[in-house]
Amino acid sequence: MTSKVEMVSVVIPTLNEAGNILEAITTIHKDLSYPKEIIVVDGNSTDGTKEIVQELGYCRLIVEPRRGYGLALRTGMKNAKGNIIIMVDGDGTYEVRHINRMIAKMIEKDADMVLATRMYDPKKAMGIMNFVGNKVITFFFDFVYSQFLSDTQSGFRAISHEAIDNVELNEGDMAFATEMLIKFAKEGYSMVEVPTTYKARKYGRPKLRRFKSGIEIFSTIFRGSLDADTIRKREAAWKKNRVK
Ligand SMILES: Nc1nc2c(ncn2[C@@H]2O[C@H](COP(=O)(O)OP(=O)(O)O)[C@@H](O)[C@H]2O)c(=O)[nH]1
Ligand SMILES: [Mg+2]
């Protein structure tokens, strides 16, 4: 439940995003209309990302030399002071202006998490492989945990700090985003989506290794489904649908 905004902590993981990070941060700084802090968790980039962030003066830079998207976000979230945490990539692919609308939705729905879904983007900037992989993962996740999300792999989320502190997150890489959804679903936390647009990367290369991450994500979903409570809930949902 998130009924009011005290402060928003924007956590941005970066690994060699020198050509992308400035626009993302300056847009957030200018557009986000709540008290805020911007935390960049950098994986010791070698292309000048850290220097760009430092020069701005108003961002907090944390260097997390250990590899992994999940580890970077976990470190950033541990250091966040706001009651609402925004996680968003520093690669310029997400429309960061939409943070305001995500927070508005969070308050309106009293939600624990708002995800920005890219599935209604008319421009369809997501590559076909990522789109299909995401759809399959999302279908599987929704089925197992009785949810109705359309984009489980969205890395753009507004999250209640209290809720995130209440779940244990262990994944170090891309499966972190899915582990978070699983733990939230199990706690009965509410997750809603708002549509956003998606842009192709202008600079640098994605760090996503599709095959490795795909295996890790499926294994996270599968392992998470093995406890008695999740099986019982799945059975109940299945029976309810069958009666209809
Ligand atoms: N600190 C840190 N950031 C990372 C690491 N891997 C990826 N990132 C950042 O996490 C975000 C998402 O990664 P990206 O390569 O765009 O993955 P994709 O969007 O799934 O293709 C980007 O801002 C990356 O710079 C890492 O090991 N450490
Ligand atoms: Mg990306």
pLDDT in the model for residue 210: 87
- 198 in ligand 1 pocket by Cβ < 6 Å? no
The residue contributing the CA closest to ligand 1 atom 2 is 43
What is the average per-residue pLDDT within 33-40?
Answer: 96
Instruction: Answer yes or no: pTM beyond 0.85.
Output: yes
Ligand nearest to the CA of 17: 1
**Angstrom distance (rounded) from CA 121 to CA 123:** 5
pLDDT in tens, 200-210: 889 998 887 88
C-alpha 62 – ligand 2 centre gap (Å): 20
78-123: per-residue pLDDT in tens? 999 999 999 999 999 999 999 999 999 999 999 999 999 999 987 7
CB atoms within 10 A of CB 36: 18
**pLDDT-derived band of residue 243, with 50, 70 and 90 as boundaries?**
low
What per-residue confidence (pLDDT) applies to 244? Answer: 58
How large a percentage of the chain has pLDDT more than 90?
A: 83
Write out the two tokens for 64: 């997390």
Specify the pLDDT at position 124: 77
Question: What region does 174 belong to: left with phi over 0, alpha with psi -120 to 50, or beta?
Answer: alpha
Q: 14 CB under 6 A from ligand 1?
A: yes
CA of 15 to the centre of ligand 1 (A): 6
224 Cβ below 6 A of ligand 1: no
Query: Ligand 1 within 6 A of 206 CB?
Result: yes
pLDDT for 66 equals 96
Angstrom distance (rounded) from CA 193 to CA 100: 14
Q: By the 8 A CB rule, do 63 and 32 touch?
A: no
